[in-house]
Amino acid sequence: MASLHIANTVSDLIQGDVQEHLPLERIPLAGDVLGLGTTSGWDNGELTFLCDDPASRQPVHTRVYKSEPHNGGLRLLEPGPGLQHFPFACFSADATGLRRPVPPALLSGAADRPLQAVVAEAIAAMTAEGLLEPAPIYGLRLLSRWSGLVITVASKLCLGQRRRNQGLASLQPLAAGPEGLQASIYELLPHFRLSAEDPGDPADPIRWLSDSLQWEGCGFYDTAPELGRVTVPVPEAHLHLHGCSTDLRHGGHLLHDHPATALAAIDWLVLYPLQEIITLGADLAVRDLSWRQGEAQFSVVNQGSLDASEVGVAVVVNDRYSGHRYLRLPWLGAGEAERVTMPLPLPAGSHRLEVIVDPERNILEEESRRANNRQILELELGE
């Protein structure tokens, strides 16, 4: 059974949780590894996980391609140091043993139909025939041809970090609200068009790329999209698909439900029933708070599974938040700790010393996991 690991969720990303990171080198790529993701605000783009040959019975390897937001171009990522870290990524273990090829008869009438409907019907038919096990999330790989295709590529998707409390971005397209019409998160991203010819319309906001209309895709079909695990948490948004043109010229998030997208054929489709879901996240904590000889000492610990960046720490004396001390840790890797010594002279008497990590709540930890984000020390100092 191949588990599915989710570093953050799509819901967290939309809400602006962009200070948690999963480095590429922590994703095992030996075998048939399903996955997709979005890069950080420093290095924007979309991730597509392509397997050497999903139909092969021989050992295979998975490669990760990053699409660029300025032109939809592709770059092969290699594990190693640098900016190759992702606030959202989901990936499986080697899923070779879970491959369930869809019979060609179920794909023969795919032309001009919504891709999500074709996938849903294949899941239902194969489950009914005992060819596919029921699962909460299905991975999928496919080779598809399109009459027209619109893609997006993340560019400051992490706008949400500054927008999430301002009502400027929503999940629904053009939803009316107190601030007037609101754009969906995908409407805020650069769009690109693939078609046989350049429409040549200077007023068209969608930039034409090329006539590369055969695409290999990798993605997920979530049976409960409202949970926002790997798809946007809106009704019927089951399918999240990234892909690359087979000539490796372009890549990105396939807008399979866009009005200008039209499916021509599905050459092959493989489904993977994923039963176990593991959510990854940072878990910040304050430990070992002490005060001696005019100094406060404590440790800031990341006991979670994702790295954290720009970690804020507030030191408050006697509940005087207006006069608190503040510091910021640029990076705190998963499993790492930072020991802090801060000059803090205190007069004789009773004092209450409190240290809070991530006081702005920029990292969206569950409330049940935030109890360790602060530590309090009561002091009684003599003359």
pLDDT bin (cut points 50, 70, 90) of residue 85 is confident
Residue 261: what pLDDT? 97
Q: Are residues 324 and 176 in the same domain?
A: no
Residue 190: what pLDDT? 81
Q: What is the CATH number of the domain that holds 291?
A: 2.60.40.10
Residue 7 has pLDDT above 60, yes or no: yes
Residue 365: what pLDDT? 85
Residue 382: what pLDDT? 86
> Which residues are CB-contacts of 16 (< 8 A; sequence separation ≥ 6)?
158, 159, 160, 161, 162, 163, 164, 362, 364
Residue 36: what pLDDT? 96
Q: Within 13 Å of residue 133, how many CA atoms lie on the same side as its CB? A: 13
Q: Are residues 215 and 243 in the same domain?
A: yes
Q: Are residues 257 and 310 in the same domain?
A: no
Per the structure, the complete domain to which residue 336 belongs is given by: 281-381
Q: Are residues 42 and 98 in the same domain?
A: yes
Q: Are residues 336 and 240 in the same domain?
A: no
Integer angstrom CA distances of residue 262 from 111, 147, 178, 186: 8, 5, 35, 18
- Per residue in 97-140, pLDDT (tens digit) is 999 999 999 999 999 999 999 999 999 999 999 999 999 999 99
- Per residue in 351-379, pLDDT (tens digit) is 999 999 999 998 888 888 899 999 999 99
Dist. CA 82–CA 228, nearest whole Å: 29
Residue 174 has pLDDT above 90, yes or no: no
Please tell me the pTM assigned to this model: 0.88
Contact 190, 159 (CB under 8 A): no
Better-scored residue on pLDDT, 86 or 195:
195
Residue 21 has pLDDT above 60, yes or no: yes
Average pLDDT, the chain: 89
Counted domains in the chain: 2
pLDDT bin (cut points 50, 70, 90) of residue 348 is very high
- Per residue in 227-246, pLDDT (tens digit) is 999 999 988 999 999 999 99
Q: Are residues 13 and 159 in the same domain?
A: yes
Phi, psi of 321 (to 5 degrees): -70, -30
> Which residues are CB-contacts of 345 (< 8 A; sequence separation ≥ 6)?
294
Mean pLDDT of 31-58: 84
Q: Are residues 253 and 154 in the same domain?
A: yes
pLDDT bin (cut points 50, 70, 90) of residue 156 is low
Q: Are residues 269 and 330 in the same domain?
A: no
pLDDT bin (cut points 50, 70, 90) of residue 53 is confident
Q: Are residues 23 and 135 in the same domain?
A: yes
Residue 219 has pLDDT above 70, yes or no: yes
Q: Are residues 214 and 299 in the same domain?
A: no
Residue 267 has pLDDT above 80, yes or no: yes
Q: Are residues 304 and 231 in the same domain?
A: no
Residue 125: what pLDDT? 98
Final residue of a structural domain among 210, 244, 279:
279
Residue 169 has pLDDT above 60, yes or no: no
